[in-house]
């Protein structure tokens, strides 16, 4: 196994995971049972988290695993408990959502054509990284660079993300309270 190129292994794993993600996405769209859809959504999030680990984005993978595969799945299962298990059947298939998805995918692929080559040292992230590493302790006084970037340099971004998650949690609690409150009276 020592003769196998690690770049090839990473590319193969990435491709296999992307194919699995595509199969899961098509399955989610095609299945009518809501419980099966929730299970497939959890599997989709887990596959995405695994892909993020392969791509060395462990922080994003942890977030995807905890929020996507964990909390979202639990909330969806709770919502299913409070509703019907089967999706209402539609009378006609609409082509517009497929068209919008295809156009969005085409625009995203076109936008990716201008990106630097994957792993290239010419990427913008590599030009500022050394600067952060060199001045973080003097600027902020926090020895952990990741914490310093998230809490100080990107503080407003982190605050915005926290506000979105908090607002979503409050919304879910209000909806669940209204549902359970309506059954008691």
Question: What's the pLDDT at 185?
Answer: 43
69 against 185, higher pLDDT: 69
Using one digit for the tens of pLDDT, what is the confidence trace for 93-134?
678 878 888 999 999 899 888 877 777 777 776 776 677 777
* Domain-located, residue 155: no
Beta bridge partners of 33: 86
* Domain-located, residue 20: yes
* Domain-located, residue 41: yes
User: Which alpha helices (H) appear in the chain, and where do they start and end?
Assistant: 6-30, 34-54, 58-63, 72-82, 96-112, 124-140, 145-148, 155-184
Q: What is the CATH number of the domain that holds 51?
A: 1.20.120.1200
Q: Record the tokens describing residue 63, joined without a space.
A: 């977030």
* Domain-located, residue 99: no
Rounded CA Rg of the chain: 21
Structural domain containing residue 13: 1-87
pTM of the model: 0.57
Q: Would you say residue 11 has pLDDT above 80?
A: yes
* Domain-located, residue 134: no
Using one digit for the tens of pLDDT, what is the confidence trace for 18-32?
999 999 999 998 888
Lowest mean pLDDT of 14-18, 61-65, 93-97, name the range: 93-97
Question: What's the pLDDT at 46?
Answer: 93
Domain count of the chain?
1
């Amino acid at each position: 196994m020592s003769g196998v190129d690690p770049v090839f292994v990473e590319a193969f794993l990435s491709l296999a995971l992307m194919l699995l993600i595509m199969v899961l996405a098509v399955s989610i769209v095609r299945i009518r049972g809501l419980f099966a859809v929730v299970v497939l959504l959890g599997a989709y999030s887990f596959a995405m988290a695994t892909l993020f680990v392969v791509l060395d984005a462990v922080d994003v993978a942890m977030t995807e695993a905890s929020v996507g595969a964990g909390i979202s799945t639990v909330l969806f299962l709770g919502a299913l408990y409070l509703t019907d298990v089967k999706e209402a059947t539609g009378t006609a298939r609409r082509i517009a959502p497929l068209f919008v998805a295809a156009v969005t995918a085409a625009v995203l692929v076109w936008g990716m054509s201008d990106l630097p080559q994957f792993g290239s040292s010419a990427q913008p992230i590599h030009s500022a990284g050394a600067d952060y590493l060199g001045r973080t302790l003097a600027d902020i006084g926090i020895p952990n660079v990741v914490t310093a970037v998230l809490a100080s340099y990107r503080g407003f971004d982190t605050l915005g993300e926290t506000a979105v998650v908090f607002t979503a949690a409050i919304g879910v609690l209000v909806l669940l309270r209204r549902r359970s409150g309506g059954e008691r009276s």
